[in-house]
Amino acid sequence: MGYIVPYLGIDLGTSNTQIYVRHKGIVIDEPSILVADRNAKRTVRAIGDDARVMLGRTTGESMAVRPLADGLTHDFDMTEEMLRYFVRKAIGASRLFRPRAVMTVPSRITPVERRVLRKAAVSAGIRENQLNLVDKSFASALGCGLPVFDPIGSMVVDIGGGSTEVAVISLGGIVASKTIRIGGVKMDEAIIGHIKRIHNIQIGDRTAEEMKISLGSALPLKNERKALVKGRDLITNLPQNTELSSTEVFEALRAPCQAILSAIQDVLSRTPPELAGDVMRKGIHLTGGASQLLGLDQYIASEFGITVLLAKDPLHCAALGVGHLAENYDQLHRIGRNSFLKEEKEE
C-alpha cells in the first residue's frame, strides 16, 4: 500500500511556497498569497498564482493576504487554507490516502510556533504521525548539494523574502546559526522609504520589487542605470513619475546588506575553529531568492576574504532539500542526532 501514499517535501516560504512530490519533482511553485473578502467570513477568492494575477486589481471588497511573515504563520486560518489548496493541487487524484511530508520550518522557531505550523499542515491533510519538520537552512544546504551528513563544516546563507538564515552545518546538525528578519521584503521596503523621503512619491510593493531586481545591487555599479518609476505624489495625491538611479537603490539597500553581513560575522565568530577552517576553504553558499541581488556574493566575499558561491537554483534549494528527504526518507533519522552543539540566537 505504501507506494500509493504520496510523499511530499513542502517549503512554506514568506514569498513563495513549493511542493515536491516524490518521483515527480517540484509540482507546486506559487506565491504565498490569497485574495479574500474583507468581511468577517473572509471568503477566499483566489490562492497562489491566481491570486497574484489579481494583486493591485482587487476591488474594495477584497484584499490580498500574505499569511506568513518571516516564515512564521501570523494568520493561521489563511495559512491552513493556502496549504490545503496547494497540497490538494500537488497530489491531484491520489487523494485517497493522506500524504506524508517533510516540511521546512525556520531554525529559531519556538515550540508554540512549531505546533501552529504542524497543526496547519495536519489540517491541510498531512498525516499527523508522518509529518517531519526540518530546519529551513538544513534543507537549503541539502538542496544545493552540500555534504550535510559529513564531518565537514558547510555554511549556508538563505536569503528569502522574510528572513535571512545563516547556519553552519556538520554531521547532520546545525552547529551555529542566526536568523534575522531581513530579506527581500525589507529590501523592497527600504526602496519604498527612500523614494518617499527623497522624491515625495509613494510607490507600490511590486514596483519596489521590480526596481530591486532591475536596478538594485549590493556594490556600486560602474555604469549607472536609470529607470522611470510610477507612483503617487504625496503632496498632490496624483499619479506621478520619477527617475530613479541605480546609485540611489544601492544606497537604499546598504542597511539590509550590512545586516546580512553582520549575521554571517556573528555565526562565523561562534563556529568552532576546525569547522570555520572548512568554511574558509569551501566557501559560503548563498541560497534563497534575494541572494540573487546583483553583487551580493562579491560584497560578502570581499568583506570576509572567503569565496562565496551562489546556488545554481537559489529559489528552489529548500524545496529540493525536503524533496531529497521525501525521496530518501531513510536519511531523516540522520538529521539532528549530532546537533548537540546547536546554538540559536533570537533577533
Ligand X SMILES: Nc1ncnc2c1ncn2[C@@H]1O[C@H](COP(=O)(O)OP(=O)(O)OP(=O)(O)O)[C@@H](O)[C@H]1O
The interface region with ligand X, picked from 43-51, 57-65, 254-262, 288-296 by CB under 6 A, is: 288-296
| Residue whose CB is nearest to ligand X in the complex, by number | 184
Please give the size of the binding site for Mg ion, defined by CB under 5 A. Answer: 2
What are the DSSP calls for 170-209, one per residue? ETTEEEEEEEES-SHHHHHHHHHHHHHHHH-EE--HHHHH
- Mutual angle of helices 184-199 and 246-269, in 10-degree steps: 140
CB of 289 to ligand X, least distance (A): 2
Q: Quick check: 16 binds ligand X (CB under 6 A)?
A: yes
Q: Which stretch binds Mg ion (CB under 5 A): 114-122, 160-168, 196-204, 333-341?
A: 160-168
The pattern of x and - marking residues 194 through 233 that bind ligand X according to CB under 6 A reads ---------------x--xx--------------------
Among 169, 192, 162, smallest CA distance to 290 is for 162
Shortest Cβ 216–ligand X spacing (Å): 6
Q: Which is nearer to ligand X, 100 or 212 (by Cβ)?
A: 212
Residue from the set 67, 162, 231, 323 that interacts with ligand X by CB under 6 A:
162
Looking at the chain, which runs of residues are DSSP E strands? Answer: 7-12, 16-21, 25-31, 34-37, 44-47, 62-65, 68-69, 72-73, 100-105, 131-135, 154-159, 164-170, 173-180, 201-202, 226-233, 239-245, 284-287, 308-310
Question: Which residue in 292, 327, 258 sits closest to 8, CA to CA?
Answer: 327
Nearer to ligand X, 13 or 240 (CB): 13
Q: What is the largest CA-CA distance in the chain?
A: 67
Q: Which is nearer to Mg ion, 31 or 231 (CB)?
A: 31
Residue 283: burial class (beta carbons within 10 Å; 0-12, 13-18, 19+): middle
* Contact call for residues 11 and 322 (beta carbons, < 8 A): yes
57-65, 180-188, 231-239, 251-259 -> range binding ligand X (CB under 6 A): 180-188
| Rounded-to-integer distance, Cα 241 and Cα 39, Å | 34
Which one of the spans 75-83, 122-130, 243-251, 282-290 is the region binding ligand X (CB under 6 A)? 282-290
Contacts of 217 (CB under 8 A, 6+ apart): 246, 249, 250, 253, 293, 294, 295
Does position 13 bind Mg ion by CB under 5 A?
A: yes
The distance of closest approach from Cβ of residue 46 to ligand X in the complex, given in angstroms and rounded to an integer, is 18
Q: Which of 173, 183, 231, 295 binds ligand X (CB under 6 A)?
A: 183
**Which positions from 193 to 232 touch Mg ion by CB under 5 A, shown as an x/- string?**
----------------------------------------
Query: How far is 141 from 285, CA to CA, in rounded Å?
Result: 8
Contact between 71 and ligand X by CB under 6 A: the answer reads yes
CB of 15 to ligand X, least distance (A): 3
Binding site for Mg ion (CB under 5 A): 13, 160
Binding site for ligand X (CB under 6 A): 13-16, 71, 160-163, 183-185, 209, 212-213, 288-290, 292-293, 315
